[in-house]
Structure 1
Amino acid sequence: MSMDLQRFHATFFEESREGLDAMEAGLLALESGQQDAEIINSVFRAAHSIKGGAGTFGFDAIAGLTHVLETLLDELRAGKRALEGHAVDAMLPSVDVLRALLRDSQPLQAMQLPGPQSRQIMRELQQKGIALRFLAGNGTPFALCRPQPQIILPAASLALPDRTLRLVIGHEAAHLQRRDPQRAALMRLVGALYWFNPFVRRIAARVQLAAELQCDARALAEGGASNDGRLLAHAYIQTLRHATGEQPASALTHRDFGGHQLRLQHMLQGDAGRRPGITSVLLLVALGAACTVGLATVQAAAMAGPPSLPLPLPVTSVTVLEEALPPAPSFAAPLSNTRVTSVFGHVSDFRQRAHRGTDFAARRGTAVLAPADGTVIAATHAYPDGANYGTVVVIDHGAGWQSLFAHLQDFAVQPGQRVRRGDPIARSGNTGRTTGPHLHMELLRNGTRVDPQDWLQ
């Protein structure tokens, strides 16, 4: 990414965060009963500005959601829709979703990578105009050519060893160098035109497999170490285990066991015709288990209903959706002794808005514990969502769940690190905007904040 584009991105992210704060303040004012046209106009202007910037930089998810909000707000401004409670109730959670999307759209920082080798290839790619981006949750790494060349790394990838992650990034970089995303888009177009011809699908699958083998070979050739093939094979198995049913176009299907087997043989031996050794056999057994889990995920995804816009749903529909969601992790209290001092949703004179989490009494330096297993996705003294949070740690627990801890004195973890329930992750403090030392905890479910006390055991 060029320095000019980096500056434009930084400006967009900063202005968007300010815009979201303005949107939230305006929506809370509307929720409190202030029927003021200028408040609606200010929220509309903020949404319109974010939409414009997101569209310019190709952040389609942000642009799409702000377009929905903009349309709703325009109807409110024109008097085509009555300003009722359910309309505001639908828009407020969207602000939290936009914050999560904005956070996930920001480029990876070098400190988030596990070591010098992955940071080195990141610098090399940046010099070529290729950005690395972070994606919360599970999935497989993938490459995009538009709006700019970029490699997307899910949270699970950041937990890989340093050299292994370098190989994974090298594989995705090879896709961009070969222009595979463009070729895949063309093959999808041909497949759509000739959907009735099974031979076209088979040819496309063969071409994709050949591309994957070529990219594996390039990554291993640039690495040069004798055990790189084994490292890449282990990473491949791990990404299959973490993969969901919704795969990017460049990924092989979980049903293609033969393709997976061939790739592993090439990684480990460089020649698919050799007799597989014990390492290959063990990895193929693991692959079979991963494919079985992946196939079950695909089948479950195929049975799910289509996504809907973020508008109010009937109570019966919400019940069905709740039952279809993956079970929540088992969350433990983040402190050995817990005493709640401020509850979720409370509006105080100090903060002038609904409390986003739960505050616990804690002296400065008290150990903060991971509430459940997960991957650290942020550990920083400068949290992107605002300076008021102070020092922050965020953990991704999978299945759409994240926990956030703010106002910390310091932290004992790094982005990409795996933690277990009960592991010490930080010490409480009073950094940021506080009235004194305490622990602030937020719990997010699919990007929307929920009451931590409803889920802590």
Structure 2
Amino acid sequence: MATSSFPLIFLQAGISAVLACAVAWSLLRLARRAFPGLDARRTPWLLAKLAGAAVLVLVMLPGSARWSLFASAPEALVAGFAAPLAAGSLGGALPYGAAEPAAGDALAALAWLWLAIYVAGAGAHVLRWARMRRALRALLLAAEPLDGPALRAHPALGARRRGLPPVLEIDAPVSPMLAGLFQPVLLLPTHMRALPPAQQRLIVAHELMHLRRRDHLWQHAGALLQALLWFVPFAHGFQQRLQWAMELGCDRAVLAGRPDSERRDYAAALLAQLAVLAKGLATAHTARSALPFGVGGAQDVAARIRLIREARPAPRFSAASLLSLLLLPGLCGASVLLQPQFAWRESGDEAPVAGDAPAGWQAPLAQLRVTGEYGEINRPGGRPHRGMDFGAARGTAVLTPAAGRVSISTDRYEGGARYGKVVVIEHAEGTRTLYAHLDQRLVRAGDSVRAGQPIALSGATGKVTGPHLHFEVSRKGAPIDPQLVLGGALAQRR
């Protein structure tokens, strides 16, 4: 992948990721109607984010254009992002870049701008995450560890020992939380002691359920994917649903089989915690890097309390519904296959197979030295090379590969003088060849030519760095790789 092409490819990758997440969001919205219990499932929401991130990466991999089920979009369509074009591609007798310098440069500038915006946005996201981690670390450093007698004396812990992580206590208006990735700790605020012991024990049970369910790993995975997909609106929705699923799943797991009295205590603990959080902002700065109890807006807490009071059992998924969730990454990944391959990508869908090449074609030079391949992206602006370049000294005879009729022979080709002297020949089956940067033209428009006939002398006219022959081929108006029509002649002359 050439450096100059990366911004354009990254722009396409970003668009593909947005589309993939949009498809996933639509599918999950439909699934929520059929399976209300989806709200308490973490897997589909994290898989949706993972699918979007996978699309972002896969589209940028070398050769991903071959996966597309679509042919390359016309170059005029791509250039239309920046400016309208008066002509099409080679079918309008335009060589590589002839009608698109301004439009292609504008599109390249747009791609570079998007790359800069993405880097800035990702950097801001990482910095925000780092600030939250620092705020959380400051809380942990200010907290006092509880062990031995202090643990036994705490009304929320009592005789509980099994499965208990390190416990810290802090005098601050924060929510009880499970913090940390590799070595999670349980952080308890001193104000929690003012609650009835039954409520305290339920709060601790909630945080320990996060630990049992490995929610801290899910949370950090979601945060990492969020940093990659910060520009995708649907990804923010996935993260919110993931957080909601973790809290709701813990609520249901803790309250499973408990009497109504304990459910009321649990709801009261949520309300009490919401009142505490209204007095301080410490938890607001750490909520995304830890798993606090009762964090969320008043509407979220009210929704959780309503679900707690309803005491509905967690719905079980049928095999068919679970299978549909497993198919979600595949459905999102299909966006890679369905992505349009724009002009900066080389797509083989428009090119005929080698078996369709005209028979008996010859090489355009007696001795071939390839200096530029078809489809290479190594130029300013990131546009692909629409032909092949052959190194040739000034004055080398240029030969027509097959019989045909000269349609254009000019010193100033359409699109500007950058292509120098040009000859275009129409062949059978809608095939057209173009020869650029010539030193002399030996034929005129309307002349009939035979295979192997000299039609020009190679040179360095136009915008070039040295003498060579620029050779293009099109079939029914679409540019194709010259190697497909030259076939064995190209291999023999190299």
Q: TM-score, normalised by structure 1?
A: 0.34
Q: Which has the larger radius of gyration?
A: 2
Q: TM-score, normalised by structure 2?
A: 0.32
- Greater RCO structure (CA 8 Å; 6+ sep): 2
